[in-house]
């Protein structure tokens, strides 16, 4: 029973780390990254559709994204969707493709992005700690119900802490990598 609780907790911690990775993918570094367009949706025949399902997105240069719609008639809709997504990028529409040029980041903007990344990281750590608390509460409930001895509770609580430390260290590592990518010119 305690192993089940620990396994469920570990799965939740893995999900928290995956969410953090997705958030990090949306943070702009000095290079063009197609993941920045993941949250852009275009109204296509009355249905909000993710941009990557109605167009191919490529990186022809380090500072540029090229968006080639499968249906040329929606190129203006794609342009509007990019503008309304508040990406701080201006689409260049030549009638067949849309180019997004990424201007080099200023030192001040890089520092702001690092602060954002640290904030996201801290939120993920809080989520991990909340999961730890939830696991420990479930273990204490088992002890209270007589299904777990005091020694077993102590051992499982230590295992929970080791698991928490592992995921906190992983978050720290991911954060450091993202900060380095942002600060690299």
Task: State how beta strands 47-50 and 41-44 pair.
Answer: antiparallel
**What tens digit of pLDDT does each residue of 30-51 get?**
678 888 888 889 988 889 999 9
Mean pLDDT (the chain) is 90
C-beta neighbour count of 112 within 10 angstroms: 13
The residue assigned the tokens 């990186």 is: 59
Half-sphere exposure of 89 (CA within 13 A, CB side): 27
Given a cut of 80, whether residue 88 has pLDDT beyond it is no
- Long-range own/partner contacts, residues 75-80 (CB < 8 A, 24 or more apart): 77/42, 77/43, 77/44, 78/42, 78/51, 78/54
Phi first, then psi: give them for residue 11, nearest 5 degrees: -60, -40
User: 3-state class of 15 per DSSP?
Assistant: helix
Share of the chain above pLDDT 90, in %: 54
Stated pTM of the model: 0.74
Given a cut of 90, whether residue 99 has pLDDT beyond it is yes
What pLDDT does 53 receive? 92
Dist CA 4 CA 12 (whole Å): 12
Q: Catalogue all structural domains in the chain, each as residue range(s) with its CATH number.
A: 2-26+106-183 (1.10.132.20), 34-101 (3.30.1360.40)
Contacting residues for 114 by C-beta, under 8 A, at least 6 apart: 179, 182, 183
- Whether 37 contacts 81, CB under 8 Å: no
Residues in the chain: 185
């Amino acid at each position: 029973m305690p192993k089940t609780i620990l396994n469920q907790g570990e799965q939740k911690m893995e999900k928290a780390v995956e969410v953090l990775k997705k958030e990090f993918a949306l943070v702009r570094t000095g290079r063009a990254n197609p993941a920045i367009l993941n949250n852009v949706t275009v109204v296509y025949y009355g249905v909000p559709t993710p941009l990557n399902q109605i167009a191919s997105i490529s990186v022809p240069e380090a500072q540029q994204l090229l968006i080639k719609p499968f249906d040329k008639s929606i190129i203006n809709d794609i342009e509007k969707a990019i503008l309304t997504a508040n990406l701080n990028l201006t689409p260049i529409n030549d009638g067949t493709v849309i180019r997004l040029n990424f201007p080099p980041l200023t030192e001040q903007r890089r520092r702001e992005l690092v602060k954002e990344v640290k904030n996201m990281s801290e939120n993920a750590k809080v989520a991990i700690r909340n999961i730890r608390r939830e696991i420990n509460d479930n273990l204490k409930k088992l002890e209270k119900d007589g299904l777990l001895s005091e020694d077993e509770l102590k051992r499982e609580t230590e295992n929970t802490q080791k698991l928490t430390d592992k995921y906190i260290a992983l978050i720290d590592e991911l954060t450091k990598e993202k900060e380095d990518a942002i600060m690299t010119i």
